[in-house]
A and B are shown apart, each in its own frame.
Chain A
């Protein structure tokens, strides 16, 4: 074993992944399952058709405790947190003074505080960021002893309801505390695959037991990071470090939907977060480039880093993630293009191995999402 592999962290489900025959790869400092014996394509299709179980325990879980936590968090995110109702969940972004994105995150209001889930690769930086800026106003309590499971797909509700019928009552982006066959958990009806499904925070020492109960359900198969990536890409969702990072603003990233009106210029709680002036200016004037979806009619995948040119061969953008969408059956990609080329239907060319591949700017998601909105 190399020094690098011995230094990798393991989630509480690591031994279970090996038992299930997973192919493990280093990811964000963890030794993670990229696929199981079924393979990425089959896992992707199974999740779209039935239910897939993902170990997302590498992600960071944090509780912000105290009456002032919501107002405090609003100083770091351009998102309406104060009005977030009990057991409601919302997508948010940490920004910096340049108005670019430090990380994306999920925030849910619980009875014991604001429950925050951040990306594995940004976790330590995010926790330090919150401790530095929020500690005077609320307690920033990392939850390293919690595992996180995602159960995704149209039959997730059927499978999870057997462990507690109450979870069927949840709608997209809401949550609650549930005992799943006797195991205490916090469940939200959310995920990052475009499908209906759940994310389940569970004590690390009960996580294997819960995972086995879920895998015992006939609808459920284990799914690795490979399919997670193709699922989220088909759903048109950004991956931090690829489609969004500290070089992209929320306006450029087409994430303005994540900034509620109350936080925009003219809103009751406008600004007050890092980079607000930059982002407000882009709201008013537009940005020079924009994140778009692209679809190709040819079968060749167009991947991250591929340059995009117009019919005259001029550089107009770059692909930030791309693959052959297993559900769509065509290459799909997310890319940044100069704003004049961002309209749906615009024909561009991706340069792959010096060949021009035609691509069309397309609306996202590439495959209809299955969120349960009640």
Chain B
């Protein structure tokens, strides 16, 4: 499985079945601080790439979560809704946000690989 990144600090894990799992990066959760609330999208709803699909709230601030690629939401992480701190403690695994069924798989090509993303974080 391949993981790609957006400039908005989301990660996208691409599965072989045309779906992708989306979460926020280690850098993003560190910048946000303690996450206390997540607003997840509705299953069945479709988003265009870069549309706001959710919100993550820390004790400090609220930040939008964007759909990294276009498609339909097929699953959301109910465990994260119950325990938003998973976004801090395990952002890349149990702290995932939602799964999307890709409608434009070619959009994945525009996302960053880990080297490009690490450079972005280092230079920000």
- Please list the residues of chain A having a beta carbon within 8 angstroms of any beta carbon in chain B: 34-35, 39-42, 44, 226, 230, 299-301, 303, 323-324, 326, 353
The reply to whether A39 and B57 form a contact with Cβ atoms under 8 Å apart is: no
The reply to whether A324 and B33 form a contact with Cβ atoms under 8 Å apart is: no
Q: Which residue of B39, B55, B57, B88 contacts A324 across the interface (Cβ within 8 Å)?
A: B57
Nearest-neighbor residue (CB-CB) of A329 within chain B: B36
- Please list the residues of chain B having a beta carbon within 8 angstroms of any beta carbon in chain A: 33-34, 36-37, 39, 55, 57-60, 62, 84, 88
Most A C-beta atoms less than 10 A away, residue of B36, B37, B39, B59 = B59
B65 nearest CB across to chain A (Å) = 12
- With known contacts A39-B33, A40-B33, A301-B37, A323–B62 Cβ distance under 8 A: no
A-side contacts of B88, CB under 8 Å: 39
The reply to whether A41 and B39 form a contact with Cβ atoms under 8 Å apart is: no
Instruction: Tell me, in angstroms, the Cα distance from A39 to B32 when the chains sit together.
Output: 10
The reply to whether B34 and A39 form a contact with Cβ atoms under 8 Å apart is: yes
The reply to whether B34 and A300 form a contact with Cβ atoms under 8 Å apart is: no
The reply to whether A299 and B36 form a contact with Cβ atoms under 8 Å apart is: yes
Q: Which residue of A40, A299, A303, A353 contacts B34 across the interface (Cβ within 8 Å)?
A: A40
The reply to whether B33 and A35 form a contact with Cβ atoms under 8 Å apart is: yes
Dominant secondary structure at the A interface: mixed
Nearest-neighbor residue (CB-CB) of B84 within chain A: A299
For the complex of A and B, the 7 pairs showing the least CB-CB separation, nearest first, are: A41-B34, A324-B36, A40-B59, A299-B37, A300-B37, A39-B34, A301-B57
Given contact pairs A39-B88, A44-B59, enumerate 16 new A-B contacts (beta carbons under 8 Å): A34-B60, A35-B33, A39-B33, A39-B34, A40-B33, A40-B58, A41-B36, A226-B33, A299-B36, A299-B37, A299-B84, A300-B57, A301-B57, A301-B62, A303-B62, A324-B59
The reply to whether A300 and B60 form a contact with Cβ atoms under 8 Å apart is: no
A-side contacts of B58, CB under 8 Å: 40
The reply to whether B60 and A226 form a contact with Cβ atoms under 8 Å apart is: yes
* 29 sampled A-B residue pairs with Cβ under 8 A: A35-B33, A39-B33, A39-B34, A40-B33, A40-B34, A40-B58, A40-B59, A40-B60, A41-B36, A41-B59, A226-B33, A226-B59, A226-B60, A299-B36, A299-B37, A299-B84, A300-B39, A300-B57, A301-B36, A301-B37, A301-B57, A301-B59, A301-B62, A323-B59, A324-B36, A324-B57, A324-B59, A326-B59, A353-B55
